[in-house]
Amino acid sequence: MSLAETKAAARKAAFAARKPLFEAANGAQSGYLSEVLAGYRGVPVSGFMPIRTEIDPRPAMAEASAHGPVGVPVIEAEAQPLKFARWTPETAMVSGPFGAAVPAVLEYFEPEILIVPLLSFDRRGGRLGYGGGFYDRTLEMLRTKRATLAIGFAFAGQEVAAAPLEATDQPLDLIVTEAGVIEVG
């Protein structure tokens, strides 16, 4: 089986595994993420607007927005890095590409911390995403400019022994779940 086929099978399995985790989730799912972000008050951060059965980072993003700039990713074109538009809990949102909401008024900035959605992760910082490569391109670009912290945010049950990786896959620096913080090692 090729790496592309392996990743496709892993994505299908990860979607199926995440669904019951999402259905059982409660409102406290971003508690540990809030704790991690509290240690970086004022540092520009990007979260994400959850789609499908993704874990919801918005409560932690709302807390962080009281102390510094917070944004959400904006897809401008295929095979391009993401851009990030400022967000607060009061921001008017509209539907963007791939079903994720984006601010109605796009005020761009560059985050130093990215909260990264994913389908599965491993303890070495490996991440399986949706296959568009947006976060990999974005992290590669941002990391050439400055230290950029990539925090994978997922349900604990999304952990796998080893995520199928390619040379272009950017590693996560930290993983946060509803059950705790996982140091990458």
Per the structure, the count of domains in the chain is 1
Q: What is the CA angle 17-20-26, rounded to 5? A: 130
Q: Is the pLDDT of residue 93 over 80?
A: yes
Q: Give the predicted TM-score (pTM) of the model.
A: 0.92
Q: Is the pLDDT of residue 68 over 90?
A: yes
Rounded Cα distance between 75 and 53, Å, is 20
Report the CATH number that the domain containing residue 42 is assigned in CATH: 3.40.50.10420
Tell me the mean pLDDT in the region 50-79.
Answer: 94
Range of the domain at 100: 3-183
pLDDT confidence band for 78 (50 / 70 / 90): confident
Q: Higher confidence at residue 172 or residue 1?
A: 172
